[in-house]
Amino acid sequence: MIGVVKNDIVKLFGTIKSYDDGTFYFDEKYVDGSEYKGPITTSASVVRGVTSFANVVSGKLNIPGEKILGLAKFFLGIGLPGSAKDCFNQIESLSLLENNRIFVPLILSLPSKVLSLTSKDQLKVEVTTVFGSAAPPLRVNLVQVLGSDSKIITTDSKELQFDLDNNVHYLDITPLKIDVGKYSLVFEITLQDSEHETVYTTGGRNTESVVVTGLIKVDKAEIGISENDAGSAESVEKLDLLKDTKVSLSANHLQKLRLSFQLSTPLGRTFKPHQVFLKLKHESKVEHLFVVPGSARQFKIVLDFLGLVEKFYYLSGTYDLELSVGDASMENSFLRALGQLELDLPEAPEKAPRPPAQAVDPLAKFRPQKEIEHIFRVPEKRPLQEVSLAFTGLTLLPFIGFLIGLMRLGVNLKNFPSLPGPAAFASLFHAGIAAVLLLYVLFWVKLDLFTTLKYLSFLGVFLVFVGHRTLSHLSNTTAKQKTA
């Protein structure tokens, strides 16, 4: 029965999954969101079962040590799980693996993966159980150092010394003459007691990557303008790239800009950083970036403006120069403003491409607008009140003159009919005329046309009747006087 279970366990471990970095885990098929348990829960239940079984069963389980180590690395690699259940599973599995009867995994870790040559850091390695307890006596050897592109730097095996107080294996890297850069270090752990080989699993060779950093020296920096064909630079200025400089250069499209400098590592070799950019920024915010190519000796860039006229969109004017040099292994990466370049390029032809639109400061779009007050139409200027009144007086003068004239002429009303009948009609006639004139005045003051016309029609009929009687009577009287 036990043998069957042992076989099944071996088969179960055959279905283990792994990530690329050496971690192993168990997972179930994803069927339904609510029932899916996830790799943490699944792996934890396997670890729980297998370690409990191994603790009570006699004899060894046939599980390769690297799978146990992989499971331990999986649970360590989760970090801080989010749910309480996952946290419980993680801690429980690690504690079961801490001292289980199959293999106790020993984890190799580097407390610091960044070593600085400037501060003379030592390479420190820790080998502990999953919960950090001390490992049995063992030796850690640095067997290989591989550079980037897997270039082998050194293969002499160096044993790391053991610091008992801090439980750390350490090694001075300065005698190794390792320069700045990224390296893969291959460690080999060997247990001092051969009996421990059946109890602990170390994974044999462990590879860890480190970055060695240092201060990079910059010197022989020069910038200048040279003519198109001649080799010698016309004006060369030495630059101190330890601080911002303010050179002032001017060039036209027939000239070239030269910039050169040397970079060397603390050990004196030439250094090729990841980022070596020269940026030219026009006053209209259009930018151009160039990678400064590096050879074995130095970094040098030559900007031939004749070929760059179109790339620069024919924009003449002031360009700000900026040099940025940086790398992961460089402790003094810098971004330096070099100065300004007055560039004189020819005029853009009709079909030249326009420079790309530049970003507008978003805050500028959202300002309140300027207030607008409506300017009302100024009414026309009128003459002064006194002037109007003066002219009113002048207008009335003829009337007054008329009255005075009538007085002078000795006007009389002798011809007014004396008989009561005609006299009444005559009075009514003149009263009617006066009424019509009064109606006109009333119309001007407040009446509207319809009312006025209504009254006028009444008055008009009346006036015709009365007027006819009066005037015919008057004409009869005059005719009688004439014939008599």
Partner 1 sequence: MAAPRVLLLLAAAALLAVSSVGDASGEGPRGRKLLVLVDDLAVRSSHSAFFGSLQARGLDLEFRLADDPKLSLHRYDHSASDLIRGIATECGVDFDEDPEAMVIDHINYASSEVEGDHTLIAGDDLIQSDVILGSKKIEAPVLFRGIGHAANPSNSLVLKVLSASPSAYSANPEAKLASVPSLTGSAISLVSVMQARNNARVLISGSLDLFSNRFLKSGVQKAGSKMSHDKAGNEQFVTETSKWVFHERGHLKAVNVKHHKVGETNEPSMYRINDDLEYSVEIYEWSGTSWKPYVADDVQIQFFMMSPYVLKNMSTDKTAVYSASFKVPDVYGVFQFKVEYQRLGYTGLSLAKQIPVRPYRHDEYERFITSAFPYYAASFSTMGAFFIFSVAYLYHK
Q: Which C-beta is closer to partner 1: that of 62 or that of 284?
A: 284
Q: Which C-beta is closer to partner 1: that of 390 or that of 461?
A: 390
Q: Which of 2, 242, 254, 411 is close enough to bind partner 1 by CB under 8 A?
A: 411
Residues 10-69 that bind partner 1 (CB under 8 A): 19-20, 33, 36, 38-39
Residues 193-212 that bind partner 1 (CB under 8 A): 210-211
Are 269 and 216 within 8 A, CB to CB? no
Q: 319-348 mask for partner 1 (x: CB under 8 A)?
A: ---x-x-xxxxx--xxx-------------
CA distance 263 to 219: 7
Q: What burial class does residue 378 get, using C-beta atoms within 10 Å of its C-beta: 0-12 exposed, 13-18 middle, 19+ buried?
A: exposed
Residue count at the site for partner 1 (CB under 8 A)? 86
Contact between 412 and partner 1 per CB under 8 A: yes
Measure Cα distances from 32 to 41, 81, 100, 317, 324 in Å: 15, 22, 34, 65, 52
Q: 455-484 mask for partner 1 (x: CB under 8 A)?
A: -------------------x----------
Measure Cα distances from 448 to 433, 439, 441, 454, 456 in Å: 20, 11, 12, 10, 12
Sign of the alpha-carbon torsion through 215, 340, 310, 305: negative
In one letter, which amino acid is 419?
L
Query: Closest approach of Cβ 66 to partner 1, in Å?
Result: 20
Residue 356: left (phi > 0), alpha (psi -120 to 50), or beta?
beta
CA distance 237 to 245: 11
Query: Closest approach of Cβ 416 to partner 1, in Å?
Result: 5
Q: Angle CA(185)–CA(189)–CA(191) in degrees, nearest 5? A: 170
Q: 119-158 mask for partner 1 (x: CB under 8 A)?
A: ----------------------------------------
Q: Which C-beta is closer to partner 1: that of 229 or that of 386?
A: 386
Q: Which C-beta is closer to partner 1: that of 238 or that of 285?
A: 285
Query: Closest approach of Cβ 149 to partner 1, in Å?
Result: 10
Contact between 366 and partner 1 per CB under 8 A: yes
Q: Which of 112, 198, 228, 472 is close enough to bind partner 1 by CB under 8 A?
A: 112
